[in-house]
Structure formats: structure tokens, C-alpha cells
Amino acid sequence: METMLPQLQKMREYFTSRVTYTYEYRKQQLIKLKKTLYKYEKEIYAALYADLKKNPEECWITEIGFTISEINYALKNLASWMRLKSAGTNLLNFPSRSYIVHEPLGVALIIAPWNYPLQLLLAPLVGAIAAGNCVVLKPSEFAPATAAVLGKMIEETFEQYYILVAQGDGASVIPSIMHDFRFDHVFYTGSTQVGTIIYEMAAKKLTPVTLELGGKSPCIVESDADIKVAAKRIAITKFSNAGQMCIAPDYVMVHQSVKEQFLHHLKEAAENFYNAESTRDYYSKIINPKQFDRLVSYTNSGTILYGGHYDAESLFFEPTIVTDVPLDAPMMREEIFGPVLPVLSWQHEEEVYKIIEQHNNPLALYVFTSSNAREKKWTRSIAFGGGCINNASWHFTNHHLPFGGIGNSGMGNYHGKFSFETFSHKKAIMKTPTWFDPALKYPPFKGKLNLFKKIIR
């Protein structure tokens, strides 16, 4: 494989020239990215349909429109983000003035997965551009049509020494470029297994990382929840994109007293949203045969209450609801990442904790309840990346909230201002005037201990 080192070195030179530092430059690049998204809108729809059978409406909400919303928010706030931020100064350093400067990190690497191949590549890019960095983009080879369109868009829109797309097999391309070149930040979205490998490679060069990983995100339905609303909101996000979403509810734990009522409404919602004759054409496919076969293997455990039909040729896998699932079944030990939803019941909260503790630090937690006290108890007693009360997955769309995992589900966060901060260095500056220069600050210090104790305490 031909080395990319000469191109990467050119990127370093381009960054060092400081052309990316100015507000005007960053603003213009964000505007260019927004324009190219509109220009390639139809090609993006076609590519996402080819890769995942996504419909245009879903493409807009979860891919193109989502990214444009991030761009608009960055354009609106970029000037204020870039301003010096005044900081307090302690008595010891009186009468100094302190402030923080957000500076770009340098050359960043962004690695995207296949499930939302455009948004999960370009949303972090928005933050990296806003912060003034040069960026190497690695789209997923498992969504080849989208990767090809992305390569075309970026090459046409940006200087290659500013934004560069690295195509090809990630298992070969990423180790090669990370071995040859020290990036100033690596942003990876994907599996925990691959994230661990990325982290190890980055550590060898002391490269900071943001890891947006997966995990089994639980959904707790209390007895006092609005059961019909809960079923609809769980179904729409669990089966969207055929369940291939890192923050989809991985399994539901519903209170025993409302289990049958919940299952009735859940089946109804799955049928109406994704499986009725009028909606089936708007249902996504599984990305490839490997993932399809993995999902098929899950149907050997538990009782299929709804769905369970699939077709290998078209990679169609029907929304499927499963009950009576043993806790040691594969679907309860692995992240499902598909349209299979195990529904478990509970009577005592200790049962819920026991199940969640098998997969610590989920990326998301969803709680359905009408009790503020119960809401507070669940969200304060479980460690998770982020989540919703009486909703599922939609916190991801709020750019006022940081999105990220904890522990096994990742490190760091992004979206909105948090993306800008992720790709920035917070440089601390303290300015001290010369007109005030007391002898107390200088040696000899003998006999000044009590005075120091009064000042520093």
C-alpha cells in the first residue's frame, strides 16, 4: 500500500502556516461544507439507499439535516467560541489577569462507522473545522457507495492539504497512517473492540483520543409509565435503521404489572411504523451478510413474540420482539445492533441493577416513568453516557447536550460547542502587571511562614 506520509506532512505544513486560525477562514469552510451537502443531496440519498436502504426522509433527519444543523449552530456561535475567555485569579497572584485561549490542536484523524456513514464522519468534522484544525477523514469501507460520494464531495470542496479522505480497508489504512504520522487528535466512532486497538496505537505517540463506542443500552419501563407512549417511542428508535444504531434501546426491562399491556402496544407500534404494507418500503436493510448471520443466530434464544422473518438475499430482517430470554443468551451478552428487541420483566429494582451490572457503563439509559423520584433514583444510581426520561435516543439530536460514553462505552464527547472544545486546546494565560511588585514575593523567605499561611489557606 502506497504511503500517505508525504500528504500528511503537507497537511502539517499547511496547519503550521496558521491559515486555519482565523475566524473568517473557519467560517468560509463551514459554509462550503454546507453548500456541498445541498449540492450532493440526491447523490447522498442514492448512496445511503444502496448501502443501507435508507429512505430520503430518514436520510435528512439522521444524516444530512443533522449535519447541516450542526453547521448552522457552529456558524451562529463560532465568534463567541473563539473569543478569549476571562478566568478568575486567586489572591496569591493579585493583581494579575487570567484568561483562556482556545487554540486548534493541529492535524486530526476522524474515523467513522457504517451505520450512519455520513453524519458520524461529518458532524465531528464540523467541530474540527470550527476549532481550526486540518483533518484526515476515514469513511467506512462497509458503506462503499456513501464513502465514494463523501470522497468526491471533500475533494471538490477543500484543499487536499486541509481536508483529506483516506479510503480503503480500515484494518490496513488506519494502522499504517497512525504508525507513520503523529496526529494531534484521533476521533473514533465504532465498536469497543476496535476502539481498544485505536487507543493502543494512539497511546504509543501520546495522541489524545475521543472514543464513541457502543454498549448494551437498557430501557426501564416503570409501572406508572404512559405505556402506549413508551411503546411507540421505544419502537421508533429501536427499529429505525433496522436497529443499527449505537444508542438504540438494546433491551427493555418492564415492570411485571404492565408487561402484557406494554407488549401489546409495542407489537402494534412495530407493525404500524415499519411492517405494514404502506411502511415496509421505508424499512432499512442489514448492512452485510456477516451482520445478518449474527442477527439470525439470536433467534435461537427465547420466544419470538412478534416478527422473526428474514431474507438473506435482500438482507431484510423484520422488527422482532423476543421474550423469555435467558440472561446468558448471546443476545444478552453482546450488543445486538439490529432489529431484535428482548423484553424482560422485573418486580424488584435489584433485578434491574443485576442485569445492568453485567454490562457496566452503557452508552445510554432510558427511563419511562411519571415519578420524579423514580426518575432521579435510576439516573443517579447507574453510570451511563447520556439518556432520556420518557424518550429514547433523541438526546443525541440536541446539540446543546454533550454526547459521549463513559468507561466501556467511550471517553470524551462532542456536538455543538462540545465538538469545538474537543478539537481545541485550552491554553491558560496569566498576565501580571509590573507596577505592583512587593518584596514579599522574593527570597529570602525566612520569617515569612505565618504570613504565607494567611495568604495560602
Start-to-end CA distance of the chain, whole Å, equals 61
- Residue 278 near residue 243, CB atoms below 8 Å: no
134 vs 440 pLDDT, higher one:
134
ω into residue 95 within 30 of 0, thus cis? yes
* The CATH number of domain 218-397 is 3.40.309.10: yes
Question: Which one has a higher pLDDT value, 128 or 360?
Answer: 128
Catalytic residues: 212, 246
Q: Could you tell me the pTM of the whole model?
A: 0.95
What is the average per-residue pLDDT within 160-168?
96
Checking if the pLDDT of 2 tops 80, the result is: no
The mean pLDDT value of the chain amounts to 95
Residues 6+ apart with CB under 8 A from 425: 102, 103, 104, 105
Judge contact between 266 and 238, C-beta under 8 A. Answer: no
pLDDT digits (tens, 9 = 90+) for 313-351: 999 999 999 999 999 999 999 999 999 999 999 999 999
Strand order in the sheet with 107-111: 163-165, 134-138, 107-111, 185-189, 209-212, 410-411
Angle 173-405-141 from CA coordinates, rounded to 5°: 25
Of 11-20, 66-75, 196-205, 272-281, minimum mean pLDDT range = 272-281
State whether the Cα torsion 430-434-436-439 is positive or negative: positive
Residue 31 has pLDDT above 80, yes or no: yes
pLDDT score recorded for residue 1: 53
Q: Judge whether residue 59 has pLDDT over 80.
A: yes
Across 155-313, where does the E strand assignment appear? Answer: 163-165, 185-189, 209-212, 218-221, 251-255, 303-306, 310-311
- Common-topology check for domains 5-213+410-429 and 218-397: no
Q: Is the pLDDT of residue 248 over 90?
A: yes
At 377-434, the pLDDT tens digits run 999 999 999 999 999 999 999 999 999 999 999 999 999 999 999 999 999 999 999 9
Closest to 132 (Cα-Cα) out of 399, 423, 426, 429? 423
Domains in the chain: boundaries: 5-213+410-429, 218-397
CATH class of 5-213+410-429: alpha beta
